[in-house]
Amino acid sequence: MQDGKAPAMQDAGVPPVRVPVTLLTGFLGSGKTTLLNRAIRQPELASTVVVINEFGQVGLDHSLVASSNDNIVVLENGCMCCTVRGDLLATLTELYTARSNGAVQPFDHVVIETSGLVDPVPLLQSLLSEPTLETSYRMATVIAVYDVVNGPGTLRRHDESVRQIGVADQILLTKLDLLAPDVAPATEAAALATLRELNPAATIMRVPASEHDIAVLLRASGADPRSSGESALRWLNERAYQHADHDHDCHDHDHTGHSHAAHEHASDIASFCFVKEEPIAREALHLLLTSLEANLGANLLRVKGLINIAEEPGRPALLQGAQHLLHNLDWLDAWPDADHRTRIVFIAQGVGRQAVEEMIELLERVATRTARARQRAASAGAVTPDR
């Protein structure tokens, strides 16, 4: 928010088109590079930039390379491969500037393959909230690749793996073909239970059989909450949290079908939907966002919500962010459905639903007392006679 006021909506005219970004993540050896290598030459990835650490990782067939410079290779199908030069965010900025200047061919989608040891949350934070990127790009989907053979041990030993799964919109199961037929069904079922416990909202599926379908998956534009009310509801996806267990619950507290494997691997991941019936005062929201950043910070893997602000009736605020950047608000002209309650989805690590709800309740009480004190002071000043 700027100076305590809601930002104005985009004026008439064509708004700038933000390039969708797909984040392809997954731990070392999970199969990200194999997946990318199968799809990268498909015609569906024309007008796409694939950002990778090294060209050699995707095993490019150089007979299919149309042109090349120091850090960009253009394939015959039109797909561009860009090597990360230093900082990934700087690379994205340079790419967008080069596109605007005509220095590179036009592109309308970006796929980023992260290193297997990378925590994807800081990248999400920057793509969602960094002003220099937020005006040029938008987060489309986060795809995590999960190795069913080595994944359970990886989740136990590596926090990066847990966070990769926790923030994903889609999870692709790999290495199923390495399992003996007699153990494959049980192993896949256990993987599904573990992943669903860690991430109740993600779509979990096997890797598509065809290269075409993989390319289509990588090019998926995702739900842009700014574009329409229907997209905003798909983006929030609150229904996914309604029947999950314990902290993963928006309304119910049914503990049946509990996955003990997930608790063994990553018991401190919590995904839940906070719902508030009454509108939230702007000052209370400001206190809430400031306190979440200050007190939870790095533990907030992903936050998104539709917020009913008391001073903006009929005009919900869109909140999305991660970690320490939660103040960037967008606004819808109208509510996308008949439900005008505040609904905020939290994906957090090391903090549960109860702690967040207690913080929100406390901050609302503080904000209410502060507002009433200001009103009394203003009223007293208004009736004080001149001396």
Average pLDDT over residues 109-127: 88
Output the domain CATH number for residue 266: 3.30.1220.10
274 with 295, same domain?
yes
Whether 2 has a pLDDT exceeding 50, the answer reads no
pLDDT for 262 equals: 43
- Read off the pLDDT of residues 53-94 as tens digits, 9 standing for 90 and up: 766 666 666 666 666 676 788 888 888 888 876 688 888 988
Report the CATH number that the domain containing residue 110 is assigned in CATH: 3.40.50.300
Same-domain status, 260 and 297? yes
pLDDT tens, residue by residue, 327-357 = 668 889 999 999 999 999 998 888 878 888 8
Q: Do the domain assignments include residue 359?
A: yes
Same domain, 69 and 212: yes
Using one digit for the tens of pLDDT, what is the confidence trace for 176-225?
A: 999 999 999 999 999 999 999 899 999 999 999 999 999 999 999 998 88
Element at 245 (helix H, strand E): none
The pair of structure tokens assigned to 373 is 């004190």
**Residue 2 belongs to a domain:** no
Question: Comparing 18-22, 154-158, 170-174, 240-244, which segment has the lowest mean pLDDT?
Answer: 240-244
**14 burial via Cβ count (<10 Å: 0-12, 13-18, 19+):** exposed
- The confidence score (pLDDT) of residue 175 equals 94
In a domain, 38, yes or no: yes
- pLDDT for 90-116, tens place per residue? 889 889 998 988 888 889 999 999 888
Distance CA 128, CA 138 (A): 7
d(CA 125, CA 97): 21
Kindly state the average pLDDT of the residues 142-156.
94
27-41, 192-206, 293-307, 308-322 — which is least confidently predicted? 293-307
Instruction: Select from 218, 250, 277 the last residue of a domain.
Output: 218
Residues 134 and 280 both lie in one domain: no
Pinpoint the alpha helices (H) of 237-349: 260-266, 282-295
Q: What is the pLDDT of residue 259?
A: 42
Statement to judge: residues 251 and 194 lie in one domain: no
Residue 143 pLDDT grade (very low, low, confident, very high; cuts 50, 70, 90): very high
pLDDT tens, position by position, 245-294: 444 444 433 333 334 444 444 558 888 898 999 998 888 888 888 888 88
Domain match, 208 and 233 both? no
The total domain count for the chain is 2
Three-state SS for 106?
coil
Instruction: Return the half-sphere exposure (C-beta side, CA atoms, 13 A cut-off) of residue 228.
Output: 5
Distance CA 223, CA 33 (A): 25
Question: Which of 194, 218, 242 is the last residue before a domain boundary?
Answer: 218
Q: What pLDDT sits at residue 260?
A: 46
User: C-alpha distances in angstroms, 332 versus 16, 109, 164, 309?
Assistant: 17, 25, 30, 12
State the residue range of the domain holding 335. Answer: 229-374
- The span from the CA of 265 to the CA of 166, in Å, is 12
| Domain identity same for 209 and 236 | no
With b for 16 or more beta-carbon neighbours within 10 A and e for fewer, the 53-73 pattern comes to: eebebbebeeeeeeeeeeebb
Higher pLDDT: 300 or 56? It is: 300
End residue of a domain, out of 189, 218, 247: 218
The pLDDT score that the predictor gives to residue 365 is 77
Q: Which pLDDT does position 255 carry in this prediction?
A: 36
Query: 306 and 234 in contact (C-beta within 8 Å)?
Result: no
Is there a domain that residue 311 lies in? yes
Residue 268 lies in a domain: yes
Tell me the average pLDDT across 311-325.
85
Q: Do 183 and 236 fall within a single domain?
A: no
The torsion angle over the Cα atoms of residues 41, 47, 52 and 58, rounded to 10 degrees, is 0
Q: Determine, yes or no, domain membership for 7.
A: no
Weakest mean pLDDT among 130-139, 240-249, 344-353: 240-249
Q: 92 and 211: one domain?
A: yes
Q: Do 168 and 302 have their domain in common?
A: no
Task: Clarify whether residues 214 and 233 are in a common domain.
Answer: no
Residue 315 and residue 195 share a domain? no
Residue 350, in any domain of the structure: yes
Judge whether 27 lies within some domain: yes
Residue 204: CA count within 13 A, CB half-sphere = 22
The predicted model scores a pTM of: 0.83
